[in-house]
Amino acid sequence: MSLSRLRLRFLSILLLFASSFLMINALPCRPDQIQALMQFKNEFESNGCNRSYYLEGVRCDNKTGAVTKLQLPSGCFTGTLKPNSSLFGFHHLRYLNLSHNNFTSSSLPSEFSNLNRLEVLSLASNSFVGQVPSSFSNLILLTHLNLSHNELIGSFPPLRNLTKLSFLDLSYNQFSGTIPSDLLLTMPFLSFLDLKKNILTGTIQVRNSSSSSSRLVYLSLGQNQFEGQILKPISKLINLNHLDVSSLNTSYPIDLNIFSPLKSLLVLYLSKNRLLPASLNSSDIPLSLESLVMARCNITEFPNILKTLQNLQHIDISSNRIKGKIPEWLWKLPRLYLVNLVNNFFTGFEGSSEVLLNSSVQLLDFAYNSMTGAFPLPPPNIIYLSAWNNSFTGNIPPSVCNRSSLIVLDLSYNNFTGPIPKCLSNLKIVNLRKNSLEGSIPDEFYSGALTQTLDVGYNQLTGKLPRSLLNCSFLKFLSVDHNRIDDTFPFWLKALPNLQVFTLRSNRFFGHLSPPDQGPLAFPELRILELSNNSFTGSLPPSYFVNWQASSFKIDEDGRIYMGDYKHAYYVYEDTIDLQYKGLFMEQGKVLTSYSTIDFSGNKLQGQIPESIGLLKALIALNLSNNAFTGQIPLSLANVTELESLDLSRNQLSGNIPRELGSLSFLAYISVAHNQLKGEIPQGPQFSGQAESSFEGNAGLCGLPLQESCFAPPTQQLKEEDEEEEGVLNWKAVVIGYGPGLLFGLVIAHVIAAYKPKWFVKIVGPDKSKEVNPVRLFLSMDSRCDSFNNTNNVEPESDM
């Protein structure tokens, strides 16, 4: 079969598949349109794009068969959107959504103007660069335009002709200059305007006579470079229900009374502004407010204006300087749902320990304050409760087990004592890290337990790991580090299908780390394993690291790369882990799912380091220090291309340092100190920048950064040889010139030695010890040269 016929047959099969798919979905697309769709798809890398998902976003006109709607799946395409793309041949398109793809370094083609029937155009989060072409003004039928979250620059886009626009989002770009003075006047239907996070200046114009005719209900101007004068015209937009004026950088404090005309306002963002202190206690702020955000506003007293906001559901006064106790009246607001008091100087709650029992609050965060004493009884319908980094004492209230709605409990970094509550199975996130809790981890995880994160590190827990953890099929993060748990390695946890992070650092674990069958440590999703400072023994089989997920990069299905719960609309939880990384011990507040780390340091492991370590492509940190590993450093480590930190110090490794490690371009820290390594330290940026301490304690190592040179300088060597030859010649001259005298002297010496042997030793012995032995000197130099030649007996490294 010829190549052309093969292509034709493939195309016919493809068209048949696509046609049948579209017909099944009652979408009568013409064959030429289907072919154009496939051509457009083939212009980009789309390995992660399922064909059916791609076609699901296609709609065609019932009569003409022309494509009228195209919505790409998120993350489907990667590449450059070129001006000659087949996309611009779909002249009947009315709806086009290319958002959340990666059109790398693409500028916006002016050919978008060819699609002059477009009503909806969304190009958000696509990495577009450059300016918006003036031809965009030809898309006069647009009602919805979204260019947010790109890298677009220049002045405000030329959109004056788009008089039908109702939705305009230009946020998170780099637009500069002023907003067109007649923007709201030329777009009478505009109801949604988001210009957040740009470099815009100036103000905005609003009609004085008929301001009520403006349809604008959503306005976001935060994080620009506007001055305070922009607030006065905004106060005329009386139909607003959402207003974001955070980070206005005003030279004077904002008086909250300026918002009093906005009687329909529901949401007000004022963060990172200076507020007039008097207006926080008495102002005519809209009573309709449901959400008020005043984070980082340098507030020093609790704002009493909140008492009048009976519709308030969401209040955020985090990262201010408010002192004293939280007033009791706050919890009496009837519709209060979310309260964020993080990072202030609160010392406690007004009222009794039951002050929260009648509150409607469901998400409550008062972390990072100075609260002391007993912990209050939580609200009855609480979902999220965070009080980390305070100084609460006493037991954790048993009533947390009676809150059936509770999903997240974070009481870490306090001074709680006593036992861990026995209701962990009901909670999705449990963080009790860095307290003084005692006893054992409750062995009461029932089948179907919801637990996703369990962090009880840095307490005084004893006993064994609870075997009922096997019921936690959703468990992703398990940390029991820095306790007194006495147990063997829990191979049985490999039955958990989602476990990604597991840390046992600094406990009393013992026994072998190799599975009973001496095969791989087959945890299906494990990426971070921290086992340092225990008493593990034995060796690791060669296949130990086979089938680890660390062999590939991974991003969550929702596009997130951090561990934690991102599913909820109102909160973000981030897992915390301690890492010994690049020679430092640090706490990491965000745990990435895209990398892997392994720390087996401070145990009693023996044998060779498994060659299968080279399979872990996503490994960024490997610490096997302070063990008894023998053999050579595995050459397969050169395959771990993402490696940034490598610590093999204080073992019994021998042989040379593999030169191949010089190919690890991200390797910033390496320590092989205190082993039995020999030969020249490989030269290159990965090694030359290391401290001398990274290689000390290896008697056979030489070369920079150590002081020991691998060979004597040539000039010094020639000088030594000349001195030796000169010494030999002088000695021969003495023998020739003074032969008779020398013979007589030797005879006298023999006689003296026969009668006074101690004199001979005393006089002759020390002189002999100071003589240079030419034979030993030459042997020593030969061995050094051989050693140098052996260490350099490799192919020269490429400059690439």
Q: How far apart are CA 50 and CA 52, in angstroms?
A: 6
Token duo for residue 693: 């301490």
Q: Cα 104 to the chain's mean position, in Å?
A: 22
Q: Return all residues near 92 (Cβ < 8 A) that are at least 6 apart.
A: 61, 64, 66, 67, 68, 117
Residue 607: what pLDDT? 96
Helix (H) or strand (E) holding 760, with range, is: helix 757-770
Helix (H) or strand (E) holding 517, with range, is: none
Closest CA relative to residue 167, chosen from 185, 194, 207:
194
DSSP bridge pairs for 646? 622, 670
Q: How many CB atoms lie within 10 A of CB 548?
A: 26
Burial of 760 (0-12, 13-18, 19+ CB in 10 A): middle
Q: How many CB atoms lie within 10 A of CB 230?
A: 19
Burial of 43 (0-12, 13-18, 19+ CB in 10 A): middle
In Å, how far are 249, 428, 531, 619, 623 from 637, measured between CA atoms?
51, 37, 20, 10, 13
Residue 588: what pLDDT? 57
Residue 24: what pLDDT? 34
Q: Is-contact 228 251, C-beta < 8 A?
A: yes
Domain positions in the chain: 8-201
Residue 631: what pLDDT? 96
Token duo for residue 772: 């240079």
Pairing of strands 477-479, 676-680: unpaired
Fold observed for domain 8-201: 3.80.10
Residue 566: what pLDDT? 46
Tell me which residue has tokens 């290391």: 690
Q: Is-contact 474 450, C-beta < 8 A?
A: yes
Q: How far apart are CA 619 and CA 643, in angstroms?
A: 6
Rg of the chain taking only CA atoms, in angstroms: 37
Pairing of strands 363-365, 338-340: parallel
Query: How are the residues of the chain apportioned to helix, strand and coil, as percentages rounded to the nearest 5?
Result: 25, 20, 55
Q: Is-contact 171 193, C-beta < 8 A?
A: no
Helix (H) or strand (E) holding 87, with range, is: none
DSSP bridge pairs for 372? 391
- Is there a cis peptide before residue 705, judged by omega within 30 degrees of 0? yes
Closest CA relative to residue 268, chosen from 289, 288, 254:
289
Q: Cα 255 to the chain's mean position, in Å?
A: 40
DSSP bridge pairs for 670? 646
Q: How far apart are CA 170 and CA 196, in angstroms?
A: 7
Token duo for residue 763: 């006089």
Residue 252: what pLDDT? 82
E-strand ranges in 501-552 read 501-503, 510-512, 528-530, 535-539
What is the strand order of the sheet 415-418 is part of?
372-373, 391-394, 415-418, 436-437
Closest CA relative to residue 118, chosen from 144, 147, 100:
144
E-strand ranges in 312-386 read 314-316, 323-326, 338-340, 345-349, 363-365, 372-373, 384-386
Helices (H) and strands (E) in the chain, counts: 10, 44
Burial of 2 (0-12, 13-18, 19+ CB in 10 A): exposed
Q: How many CB atoms lie within 10 A of CB 343?
A: 20
Q: Which residues of the chain have pLDDT under 50?
A: 1-26, 209-212, 551-562, 566, 715-800
Residue 713: what pLDDT? 57
Q: Tell me the CA end-to-end span of the chain in Å, nearest whole number.
A: 43
Q: Return all residues near 780 (Cβ < 8 A) that are at least 6 apart.
A: none
Helix (H) or strand (E) holding 315, with range, is: strand 314-316
Q: How far apart are CA 798 and CA 659, in angstroms?
A: 12
Closest CA relative to residue 536, chosen from 628, 603, 606:
603
pLDDT, tens digit, 9 for 90 and up, residues 750-799: 333 333 332 222 222 333 333 333 222 222 323 323 333 333 333 333 33
Q: Return all residues near 127 (Cβ < 8 A) that are at least 6 apart.
A: 102, 103, 104, 105, 106, 150, 151
Q: How far apart are CA 642 and CA 597, in angstroms?
A: 11
Token duo for residue 176: 């500069």
User: Is pTM beyond 0.85 here?
Assistant: no
Residue 710: what pLDDT? 84
Q: Is-contact 390 369, C-beta < 8 A?
A: yes
pLDDT, tens digit, 9 for 90 and up, residues 353-386: 999 999 999 999 999 999 999 999 999 999 999 9
Q: How far apart are CA 169 and CA 158, in angstroms?
A: 14
3-state secondary structure 157-196: CCCCCCCCCCEEECCCCEEEEECCCCHHHHCCCCCEEECC
Residue 213: what pLDDT? 55
Tell me which residue has tokens 């076609």: 55
DSSP bridge pairs for 316? 293, 340
Closest CA relative to residue 271, chosen from 243, 240, 302, 296:
296
Helix (H) or strand (E) holding 40, with range, is: helix 31-41
DSSP bridge pairs for 243? 219, 268
Angle of helix 714-737 versus helix 774-791 axis, rounded to 10:
160
DSSP bridge pairs for 176? 199
Pairing of strands 436-437, 415-418: parallel
